[in-house]
Amino acid sequence: MSESAAPPQGVWRPSPRRPLVIWIIVGLTLAAVLAILAAWGLPPFGGGSATTENAYVRGRTTVIAPQVSGYVTEVAVHDYDTVSKDQLLVRIDDRVYEARVAQARANLSAQEAALANAVQARAARAAGVQGQAAGLASAEAQLLRARADMARANDLVRDGSISVRERDQTLAALRAAEAGVRQARAAGEIARQDLRTVEVSKGALEAQVEGARAQLRLAEIDLENTKVRAPEAGQIGEVGVRLGQYVTNGVQLVSLVPPERWVIANFKEAQTRGVYAGQPATLRVDALGGATLKGRVERISPAAGQEFAVLKPDNATGNFVKVPQRIGVRIAIDPGQRLAAALRPGMSVEARIDIRGRGK
C-alpha cells in the first residue's frame, strides 16, 4: 500500500523557499507600492504638499517708448544687451526741440523785460503821486493865503481904505486858490489810479513771466526726452527700432527686463486650502534640465483667474459643468542660488509647496 502511494519518479516539484528570500521579495514589493503611492501623492503620502505644472517664471518686462516724435539718429544698443540705469538706448533728432528751447528762452526774456518796464513805470507813477501830493500842499497853502487876504480886504473895504474893485480882485484870487486845491486833489487821485493800474498790470506781467518759464521748462524736457535712456538696469530684448526710422510718442522701441524674478503658480482652488505666505516651495525648471530651486510663498491672489479675464464666462444660462478654478500664488525665489540667474520670464515651472510648513 505504501509503495503504491509513493510519487512517480518523473514528476517535478519546486524546491522549498528559504525564509530570507521570501522576506526580500515582500520588502521589494512593499517598497515599489510605497514609491508608486508617493509619486502619485496618495495616502499615506498625500496631503503634505500642493503641486502644479501650471506655473511660469515672471519678471517686470518694461516697454520703452519715446515721449517725443522725430527721426531716429542713433540706436546705441543691440539685441539682448545688458544695460545700466540711465544708459542711452535711442537718440531722436533734436534740432526742432533745440529751436523750441531757444524760442522759449527769447519769450522769457521778452516777458522779463516787460516786467522790468512795469517795475520802472510803477516807480515813476509813485514819484508822480508824491509830486501831486506836494502840489496839493502848495495849493492848500495858496488857499490859506487867499483867505487871509480876503479877510483883510473885507476889513479895508468897510473903512474905505481900498476900493470895491480891489476887493473883487482879492475875491477872485480866493476863488482861483480854491479851484487850484480841487484841481490838485483831482490830479493826486489820477496819479494814484495810474499807480494802481501799473500795479495790476505788474501782477499780470509776473504771471506771464511764470508762464514763459514753464514753457521753457517744457521745451527743455522735450529736448531731454530726445535721448531715450534705460529707467533701470536690466537686459534688453529685441530692438524694434532702426536708424532713420520716424517714431512717435508711445511707439514701442525696445523692451527692458530687470533682473528681478519670481514664479506665479496657478493651483486648483481645492489645493489652496492650507497654503499660506511664508511656506517653503520647490521649483523644478524644465529649461534648466529639471534642476530645482528653493523658494517661499510670498502672496496669494485675491481672486480666481477668471475674475481678471477680459471676457468672463457666463454660467447663468444653458448647461452647467463645474470646472475647478485656478488661483495664482506668487512664489519668491530664495537669494543666493546660482541657477536663479539663468531664469527667464515665461519659462515653465513645476511648483510644489510644502503645506506642512509654517506660514504667516
Best mean pLDDT range from 22-26, 123-127, 226-230, 300-304: 226-230
Confidence (pLDDT) at 45: 59
Task: Say if residue 214 is in the same domain as residue 118.
Answer: yes
pLDDT on residue 3: 47
Pair (236, 333) in one structural domain: no
One domain, residues 88 and 235: yes
Residue 85 and residue 232 in contact, taking contact as beta carbons nearer than 8 Å: yes
- Looking at residue 1, its pLDDT comes to 43
Cell reading at 37: 503611492
User: How many structural domains does the chain have?
Assistant: 3
Q: 303 with 353, same domain? A: yes
| pLDDT of 257 strictly over 50 | yes
Largest Cα separation within the chain, whole Å, is 203
pLDDT category of residue 43 using cuts at 50, 70 and 90: low
Any domain includes 99: yes
Q: Are residues 107 and 84 in the same domain?
A: no
Pair 139, 84 in one domain: no
Same structural domain, 216 and 101: yes
**CATH number, domain containing residue 330:** 2.40.30.170
Whether residues 140 and 206 fall in one domain: yes
Q: Which domain holds residue 214?
A: 95-224
Q: Give the helix/strand (H/E) hosting 282.
A: strand 280-285
Residue with grid cell 535711442, as numbered in its chain? 90
Residues 106, 72, single domain; the answer is no
The average pLDDT across 115-142 equals 77
Residue-wise pLDDT for 315-327, tens only, equals 666 677 777 889 9
Per-residue three-class SS string for 150-186: HHHHHHHHHCCCCCHHHHHHHHHHHHHHHHHHHHHHH
Specify the pLDDT at position 169: 80
Q: Indicate whether 291 pLDDT > 50.
A: yes
The mean pLDDT of the chain is 83
Residues 177 and 239 in one domain: no
Say what the pLDDT of residue 183 is. Answer: 82
pTM over cut 0.75: no
